[in-house]
Structure formats: C-alpha cells, structure tokens
Structure 1
Amino acid sequence: MAENAEEGGLVFHPMDQFIIKPLFGGDISWYTPTNAALWMGFAVIAVILLMVVGSSKRAVVPSRGQSVAELAYGFVYKMVEDICGKEGLKYFPYIMTLFMFIVCANFLGLIPTAFTPTSHFAVTVLLALAVFLTVTILGFVKNGAGFLSLFWVSSAPLALRPILAIIELISYFVRPVSHSIRLAGNVMAGHAVIKVFAGFAVITLVSPVSVVAITAMYGLEVLVSFIQAYVFTILTCVYLKDALHPHH
C-alpha cells in the first residue's frame, strides 16, 4: 500500500490494485484464468444466489433475500417500462442481467483485497459494445431503413438538417465510448482515492484523519457502485428506446 522509497519518502501505488494477474502464475494468454475472470465469476454467482436461490421459495412473507430480489426486479422493470414503454418489456431480461452483473461486480469490488472487473475498460467496453450492437441491429430489424430517421431531425430548419445529421451520426458512434468510460473511470477513480488515503493511514500524525477520510470515501463508493450500475442501465434503456422509436 505504501512503502519506503530509497530517498526516504513514501511511495504510493494506488493503481496496483487494477493489475490483472494469472491465478496460477505464468504468462497471461487469452485462455489464462486471471483475477478478473475469478471476480467476474463471483459476480455471476452472486446474481444467481440473489435472484434465483434467494427468491426460489416465493413466500408470502418474503425473506431478506427475496425482498432484495423483488426490490431489484421491480426497480429495473419500472425503469424499462417508463423509458421504453410496454414494447420494451420483452427486452427486460437482458437489461436486468446487465444491471445485476454490474452492481454485484461493483459491490464485490469493495471487499478488501478484492478485484473490481468493472474498473477495466476491457470489461466495460465489451458491455457497452454489446448494448450498441444489440440496439443497432434491433433498430434496423424493427424499422428497416426507417431507423436512419434517428439521425434526421425533421423538426429543425431544412438548411440545418444535414449538419445536424452529421452531428447525430457522430454522437451515435461515440455512445459505446462514453458508455464504457463513464463506468470504468468512476469505479477506478474511487478505488484509487481509497487506496491513497489508506496509504496515508500508516503515518501516525494523519492516521485519524485518514481513517475518517477512508470511511467517508468507502461510504461514497457504496453509493457510486449503485449509481454507476443505474446510469449504465438507464442509458441502455434510452438507447433501446431510440431503436424502438427512432423518429424525432
């Protein structure tokens, strides 16, 4: 966390926690089990335990696990219905899976010594590209060439429409970039700040201040972990709405 440098100062390495390492040593190849793969697996298991095992009994008086599962289900269901309408509910399972995976990965990453896979662009870019390709293909399947009306702002003056079409086209292809960077950047920044404060905690004079700061940052990161999963999901719903109803 912090170590003495040769010149007598302190050197912090807040980014070491994001290094991908093989679980069994050796070089990393595409088939090598890594800490990132391990914690993504834990996130999948957590989703299954919460949503499948936790709600399997379906009691009239729900248990804590069933209550959390029902709350998450209702929260995402309402989000999809409000943004995409009744037509978007058929895609609810995909959006629910996205939300639960991201929020579980974020929360598991707050465990000390854990690895946070959503802090890596390789993970968030893949999630964002999956959303981008899904809504784009769906847009053309549902609307045919009419999906291109998404880029044609018919309410604008005719002279401005070609310029706006170019801007809309560029912004559309930037979507997966902003979608992925927003999630990974916020998660990485929060964890790095916590690591920095934890490094300062070894210094006696500022240790009490560091402990308070770590506690505050940790509480903030719990909130950020949920908010970033919510933001990623709600943007997915907005993009899905554009695919279902592309007309301006």
Structure 2
Amino acid sequence: MAEGSSIDALGQFELHPVFGSVGEALKFSQSSLMMVVTAVIVAGFILISMVPRSLIPGRLQATTELGYNFIHNMTLGTIGDRGKAYFPFIYTLFFFILIGNYLGLMPWGFAFTSHIVVTVTLALLVFFLAMAVSFRHQGMGFFAHFLPEGAPIVMAPLLVPIEILSYLSRPVSLSIRLFANMVAGHVMFIMFATFTIMFSSLGLFGDLLGVAPIVINIALMALELLVGALQAYVFAILACIYLQEAVGHGHHD
C-alpha cells in the first residue's frame, strides 16, 4: 500500500501465519489457507452440483458437465486414448490453478499462484510425472529424444546437451509463466489503487483525476479474469503435450 508518496506493490505477497499461534507453529500461511479453500471449492462444487444427476441438468450440473467435457476433450484430443488415465490429474490441475487465480481477485483473498514456490512445485509435479510416464511407455527409448531423428551421429556432442537443456528448462518456463502473470496483474492493481488514494488528497481536481485509475482497475479486473483462465489453460495444455510426448507418438490403447 501507499506510505507517504511511495507504493509498496510487493507487500501484498508477503506470507503471514493464520489462526494465531497454531498457524505460526504449523507454518500455515494465508497461501496454505487459500489452497485448502480452493480444494474445498472444487470438490464441493462438483459434489453439490452432481447430486441431482438429472437427465436434463440444472445450471450447476450443466456448468460442471461443461467443465468436465472441456477438460476431457482437451486431454484426449492432445494425448490420445491413453489420456483417459491422466484426465483426473489434468482436471484437478486446471481447476486448482483456475480457482487459485480467481481467489486472488476476491476481497481478502490471496493468489497462491503468485508465489514461485507454488508454481515451481506444480511444474515439477508435471515434469516428473511426464518423465515417469516416458520410462513406463518407452523404456530406455526415452533417451532417444535427446538426439533428433535423422540427425547425424557426429552432431550428437552438440545436439544432445542442447536437447537436455531444453528438456530441463520445461519446469522453469512453466512455473515462471504462471508466476509472472499473476504477480504483474496484482502489482498493477495496487499501483492504480494507490494512485486513486494519492489523487484524493488534491481536492476536487484530485477527485476528478482519481476516476481514471478506478476505470483502469475495472478494466484490469476484466483482463485478470481472462488471464487467470488463460494461464490455467496454458498450464494444463502444456501438461497434456508433455504427457503426449511421454506416452509416445501414434500409440493407442
């Protein structure tokens, strides 16, 4: 927040224990709390909306089925028939990130996806799962990916290190993309909100000037809603692409 004429745009990302001494002892921060809330929202919404199991679905059931079909089609469309085994993981990953992004836009909310340790953990989970799937389906043939097909053997000393570096960079790019987008959006919110407060001290002229940051923040809110969904989709679709490579091209059950 503003302190004098300064803008502390990064203070919102500081972690603080919740639930008093118990939270402090357990290292349970607002980030941890929002993760639990996200899990409860995702699981609770599915359970509540699917209780009727109507042939003609109501709004809640239709929304859940829409989300289910969207992720199901994306997973199988990218990975293939073997994607059925990984659909629950992709479904959970997408909605965990989506709701986590949106909780950060709520009053007193906190976007745990704005912390690099969270996004790195999610990226490493995808990375090691894809690697395990690769060894399961391809065995030692997994290492053949580090020498592009058709490349001369004499080029191996140059190409193999490049391919290995490219492969190892996947969790880095995956995590930084989500982290950076969430941080940038929330920093912009604070900056323009602080401008509004600063302008308010200038009297009537300042009140008129203060309208502009408010309008910009409203536009930013709409943009962040889009970015939150887009980043969840990008994270999920890249996970599907990595798993598709892991199960092998052209393989079907």
Return the TM-score normalized by structure 1.
0.91
For 2:111 and 2:128, how far apart are their aligned partners in 1?
Answer: 25
Aligned counterpart for 1:226 among listed residues 217, 222, 229: 229
> Cα gap change, 1:146/1:30 in structure 2, threshold over 3 Å: closer, same or farther?
farther
The RMSD of aligned alpha carbons is: 1.9
**Is 1:65 aligned to residue 60 of structure 2?**
yes
- What is the SS of the residue equivalent to 2:3? strand
Residue 203 of structure 2 corresponds to: none
Identity %: 38
**Is 1:171 aligned to residue 166 of structure 2?**
yes
Residue 137 of structure 2 corresponds to: 142
**Is 1:2 aligned to residue 2 of structure 2?**
yes
Superposed CA deviations along residues 42-80 of structure 1, whole A, max 9, x for unmatched, are 100110122222222222222222122111111111111
Number of aligned positions between the proteins: 242
Unaligned stretches of 5+ residues in structure 1: 5-9
The letter for the 1-side match of 2:233 is Y
Residue 7 of structure 2 corresponds to: 12
- What is the SS of the residue equivalent to 2:26? coil
Aligned counterpart for 2:150 among listed residues 151, 155, 158: 155
Greater helix share, 1 or 2? 2
For 2:168 and 2:35, how far apart are their aligned partners in 1?
Answer: 27
Residue 85 of structure 2 corresponds to: 90
Residue 33 of structure 2 corresponds to: 38
**Is 1:245 aligned to residue 248 of structure 2?**
yes
Correspondence 1:172-211 to 2 at 5 A: 172-202=167-197, 203-204=199-200, 205=206, 206-211=209-214
Superposed CA deviations along residues 95-117 of structure 1, whole A, max 9, x for unmatched, are 11101111011111110221110
> Cα gap change, 1:29/1:180 in structure 2, threshold over 3 Å: closer, same or farther?
farther
> Cα gap change, 1:60/1:151 in structure 2, threshold over 3 Å: closer, same or farther?
same
Deviates more, 1:212-221 or 1:155-164: 155-164
Unaligned stretches of 5+ residues in structure 2: 201-205
The letter for the 1-side match of 2:73 is K
Shift of 1:229: 0.3
Return the TM-score normalized by structure 2.
0.90
